[in-house]
Amino acid sequence: MTDDLRAMIASHDGVFTTHQAHSHGVSADGIRHRVRTGQWVRVTRGVFRVADRTVDDRMRMRLAVLQTGPGAALAGAAAAWWHGLVSRVPDVPVVVAPHGRHGTRVEDVTVWHRTVAPRDLTEVDGLTVTGLELTVLDASVELGVKVMDSALLNKKVTVAALDTVQRRNAGRRGSPRARAMLEAMSSGARSEAERITAKLLDGSGFTGWSANTPACGYVLDFAFEASKIAIEIDGMAFHSDAVAFQRDRTRQNDLVANGWTVLRFTWNDVTARPAWALAQIRTALRRKSVA
């Protein structure tokens, strides 16, 4: 094996195509020989991996795309992991493939058939993935708004760029939810989260609560005054700053020092997992009632 071939295979996590092997001087007979002698493993037509490397997450992602076929790209949470936006790799990656390209079904891979504009695709470490903005939008639908919030906070993307890509890909799977997240992000989401929280409390049989309740020199978002339970709704981290962060902590410490239990919820809590948020409130009320 030449140094160039070895370097190419290593840089592609042990995965490569017939075309890549040919371009590095390996003939069809040479490929067959390496497969026959156990050096390479034929994964599917035109796709190979080296036999002496354990199949790890990076290899899985490459194989998912290459096995899906020409024009395929890693997408959603898997693309977010490949871009370094999230730390956890999904067990079942999502791959987008152009409309009309229905290749062999790939085990443990979810294929979304949709045509993605070239400008919304990119290449990272030699693998085609959805561009950063489209990845953030799709991964936020899969994993929650924290992906979008973190990407904005770390200046990986901007709201304006996300909006442009969202409009360009408006008809895709999950688009309405991504749009709602983006709109919430633009406003900081706090007021919308407060409206949703009030609706949740009203529709879940809770009594004895009030909104915009004065206590300890502050105005609480929601409060069960008799039980001294405060519910505070946080905006997005993207819209926060050091001054606001310190102010919120001082406020919470003052409330706790005066006997209040403070529950903090985010937009993601009340929209993506409302049952969990309501359970937290019920638990706090129950504990106060037996104290």
- Cβ distance 200 to 277 under 8 Å? yes
Q: Find the mean pLDDT for residues 108-114.
A: 92
Q: What is the pLDDT of residue 72?
A: 95
Query: Taking 90 as the threshold, does the pLDDT of residue 129 lie above it?
Result: yes
CB within 8 A of 231, min separation 6: which ones? 197, 209, 220, 221, 222, 223, 263, 265, 281
The DSSP output letter for 116 is P
Question: Which has more confidence, 109 or 193?
Answer: 109
Helix (H, G, I), strand (E, B) or coil at 210: strand
Q: What is the pLDDT of residue 101?
A: 62
CB within 8 A of 24, min separation 6: which ones? 2, 4, 5, 8
Give the Cα separation of 3 and 125 in Å (integer): 19
Q: Which of 102-111, 132-141, 226-235, 258-267 has the highest mean pLDDT?
A: 132-141
Q: What is the pLDDT of residue 280?
A: 96
Proportion of the chain above pLDDT 90, given as a percent: 61
Which CATH superfamily, name and number, covers 190-290? Answer: VSR Endonuclease (3.40.960.10)
Cβ-based burial of 220 (10 A; exposed 0-12, middle 13-18, buried ≥19):
buried
Give the Cα separation of 267 and 283 in Å (integer): 20
Give the Cα separation of 4 and 20 in Å (integer): 11
Q: How confident is the model at residue 146 (pLDDT cuts 50, 70, 90)?
A: confident
Proportion of the chain above pLDDT 70, given as a percent: 91
Whether the pTM exceeds 0.75: the reply is: no
Q: What is the pLDDT of residue 100?
A: 66
Q: What digits encode the pLDDT tens for the residues 175-214? A: 998 998 888 776 555 566 788 888 899 899 899 999 888 9
The terminus-to-terminus CA distance of the chain in angstroms comes to 73
Give the Cα separation of 79 and 70 in Å (integer): 17
CA 249, distance to chain mean position in Å, is 28
Least confidently predicted of 121-135, 234-248, 265-279 = 234-248
Domain coordinates in residue numbering, the chain: 1-52, 54-186, 190-290
Q: What is the pLDDT of residue 237?
A: 56
| CA quadruple 130, 135, 138, 142: dihedral, nearest 10 | 120
CB within 8 A of 105, min separation 6: which ones? none
Element containing residue 126 per DSSP (H, E): none
Cβ-based burial of 225 (10 A; exposed 0-12, middle 13-18, buried ≥19):
middle
Q: What is the pLDDT of residue 194?
A: 82
Element containing residue 96 per DSSP (H, E): strand 94-97
Q: What digits encode the pLDDT tens for the residues 213-260? A: 899 988 898 999 999 999 998 766 555 555 666 777 888 999 999 999
109 token code pair: 């891979």
Q: What is the pLDDT of residue 256?
A: 94
CA 211, distance to chain mean position in Å, is 32
φ, ψ of residue 210 to 5 degrees: the values are -145, 160
Q: Find the mean pLDDT for residues 77-92.
A: 96
Q: What is the pLDDT of residue 254?
A: 92
Sequential DSSP letters for 228-253: TEEEEE---GGG--HHHHHHHHHHHH
Give the Cα separation of 86 and 57 in Å (integer): 14
Q: What is the pLDDT of residue 245?
A: 66
Q: Which of 60-69, 178-187, 239-248, 265-274 has the highest mean pLDDT?
A: 60-69
